[in-house]
């Protein structure tokens, strides 16, 4: 196999469809600062996602940092070690202390019972992650938050378009943060957003992402430059025209993977939760001890065939130098997360993955001849 196959690749609509958007930006001479395409995309995403208020950002990490500032979070925040580093980094950028708790083996999401055990007088918020787009136990997490007076900010980077019981998963918690990075189900090259429940909160978010400016001479807070450009917003509008087709293709690939890997000893595919409309952000498998290779052995074997899988998420955030000194980062506190981090392997998943390529990946994992 000559052409490399990566775990995920950006979907790019035909270039000729993007040219009219660029011409309009040149004509308007409005490149950033809440331009026409920015305004259109915020409204279009609210309609598509079924939410009332959404603020666009230059990327998902700045959106996470700003979400914490929006709710004036202090002290300790309970979160997951099984995520991309931006989840915890956003806490350090706000001088907050991450408190890691273990995860549920079936969903890879925070275990609600472990959340409750980790609450201290300094706890002010919970930051769960809908890992791989699988919804967290939103009902139980909200019950815990209400009981202890905590805020809930969901890192929803994997959950564009995901619905649970017929409703957008983004409606849960105090805020939800999306990533529109190039490799996500829906992308704006780089980008992100905060979904919030009311206009007052959105106004504060909009101040904070624009240096804190309320008007030309009034600065309300020490904000940051988190604004999305007109080019990114225009690309986002174009992507919306194609995203349903891209999600449908991802769904077809998910089915083929599950069929092809069914019965392969030592390989487990994560289940799709009941009452969930998935958008198939990733295709993680668990490489168990009864598989013929170690997880890293399979990772290297795939690489030999130019198939670049990823160990999402390994190592755990809690194993990284800036976090491993925390009491909550102890491996004895994170038994399930540590185990899954040693087993997980995400296989290539993107709309333009060819069926012949998927077949070769399945053969490589199952031990067939490529």
Each residue of 274-321: pLDDT tens digit? 999 999 999 999 999 999 999 999 999 999 999 999 999 999 999 999
Q: Is residue 105 part of a domain?
A: yes
pLDDT of residue 343 exceeding 70, the answer is yes
10 lies in some domain: no
Q: Please state the three-class secondary structure of 274-336 as a single string.
A: CCEECCCCCEEEEECCCCCCCHHHHHHHHHHCCEECECCCCCCHHHCCCCCCCHHHCHHHCHH
Residues 219 and 251 in one domain: no
Asked whether residue 5 is assigned to any structural domain, the reply reads: no
Closest CA to 123 of 173, 79, 90, 76: 76
User: Do 201 and 343 fall into the same domain?
Assistant: no
Same-domain check for residues 268 and 227: no
> Which of 178, 209, 239 is where one domain is finished?
239
| pLDDT recorded at residue 370 | 55
Q: Are residues 49 and 129 in the same domain?
A: yes
104: in domain: yes
Domain assignment of residue 201, yes or no? yes
Q: Which of 215, 239, 263 is the last residue of a domain?
A: 239
Q: What is the pLDDT of residues 33-45, one digit of tens each?
A: 999 999 999 999 9
167-168 and 192-196: which strand pairing?
unpaired
Which of 313, 330, 308 minimizes the C-alpha distance to 8?
308
- Number of folded domains in the chain? 2
Q: What is the Cα–Cα distance from 339 to 73, expressed in whole angstroms?
A: 31
In a domain, 315, yes or no: yes
Domain shared by 264 and 132, yes or no: no
Residues 206 and 262 both lie in one domain: no
* Shared-domain flag, residues 308 and 260: yes
Considering the domain boundaries, does residue 4 fall inside one? Answer: no
Per-residue pLDDT for 162 more than 80? Answer: yes
**Eight-state DSSP code of residue 183:** T
The reply to whether 205 and 322 lie within a common domain is: no
For residue 3, the model assigns a pLDDT of 85
CATH number of the domain that residue 265 is part of: 3.90.1150.10
Look at residue 1 and tell me if it is in a domain.
no
In percent, the amount of the chain with pLDDT more than 90 equals 97
Whether the per-residue pLDDT at 7 is higher than 80: the answer is: yes
Return the pLDDT at 368. Answer: 66
* pLDDT, average across residues 184-192: 97
Mean pLDDT of the chain: 97
The mean pLDDT of 264-270, rounded to a whole number, is: 97
User: Is residue 340 domain-shared with residue 201, that is, in the same domain?
Assistant: no
Please indicate, yes or no, whether residues 226 and 260 belong to a single structural domain of this protein. Answer: no
Q: Which of 174, 209, 239 corresponds to the end of one domain?
A: 239
Which of these ranges, 48-57, 172-181, 214-223, has the smallest mean pLDDT? Answer: 214-223
Instruction: State residue 30's pLDDT score.
Output: 96
Domain check: are 228 and 272 in the same one? Answer: no
- What are residue 177's DSSP bridge partners? 155, 194
Residues 266, 342: one domain? yes
- Residue 134 to residue 169: CA distance in whole angstroms: 10
CATH number at 70 reads 3.40.640.10
Per-residue pLDDT band at 2 (split at 50, 70, 90): low
Question: What range does the domain containing 83 cover?
Answer: 15-239
pTM of the model: 0.97
């Amino acid at each position: 196999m000559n052409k490399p196959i990566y775990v995920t690749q950006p979907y790019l609509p035909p270039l000729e469809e993007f040219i009219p958007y660029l011409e309009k930006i040149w004509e308007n001479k409005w490149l950033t600062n809440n331009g026409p395409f920015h305004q259109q995309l915020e409204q279009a995403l609210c309609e598509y996602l079924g939410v009332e208020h959404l603020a666009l950002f230059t990327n998902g990490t700045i959106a996470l940092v700003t979400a914490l500032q929006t709710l004036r979070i202090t002290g300790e925040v309970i979160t997951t070690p099984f995520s991309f580093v931006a989840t915890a980094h956003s806490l350090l950028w706000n001088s907050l202390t991450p408190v890691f708790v273990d995860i549920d083996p079936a969903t890879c999401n925070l275990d609600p019972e472990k959340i409750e055990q980790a609450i201290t007088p300094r706890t002010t918020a919970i930051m769960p992650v809908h890992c791989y787009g699988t919804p967290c136990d939103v009902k139980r997490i909200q019950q815990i938050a209400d009981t202890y007076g905590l805020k809930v900010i969901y890192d929803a980077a994997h959950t564009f378009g995901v619905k649970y019981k017929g409703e957008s998963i983004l409606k849960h918690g105090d805020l939800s943060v999306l990533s529109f990075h190039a490799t996500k189900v829906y992308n704006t090259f780089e980008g992100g957003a905060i979904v919030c429940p009311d206009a007052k909160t959105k106004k504060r978010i909009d101040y904070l992402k624009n240096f804190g400016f309320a008007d030309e001479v009034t600065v309300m807070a020490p904000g940051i430059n988190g604004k999305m450009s007109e080019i990114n917003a225009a690309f986002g509008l174009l992507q919306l025209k194609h995203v349903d087709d891209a999600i449908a293709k991802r769904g077809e690939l998910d089915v083929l993977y599950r069929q092809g890997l069914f019965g392969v000893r030592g390989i487990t595919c994560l289940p799709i939760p009941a009452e969930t409309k998935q958008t198939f952000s990733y295709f993680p498998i668990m490489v168990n001890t009864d598989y013929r290779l170690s997880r890293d052995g399979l990772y290297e074997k795939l690489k030999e065939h130019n198939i670049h899988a990823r160990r999402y998420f390994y190592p755990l955030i809690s194993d990284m130098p800036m976090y491993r000194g925390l009491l909550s980062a102890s491996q004895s506190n994170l038994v399930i997360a540590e185990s899954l981090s040693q087993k997980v392997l995400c296989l290539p998943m993107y709309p333009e993955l060819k069926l012949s390529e998927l077949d070769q990946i399945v053969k490589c994992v199952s031990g067939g001849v490529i």
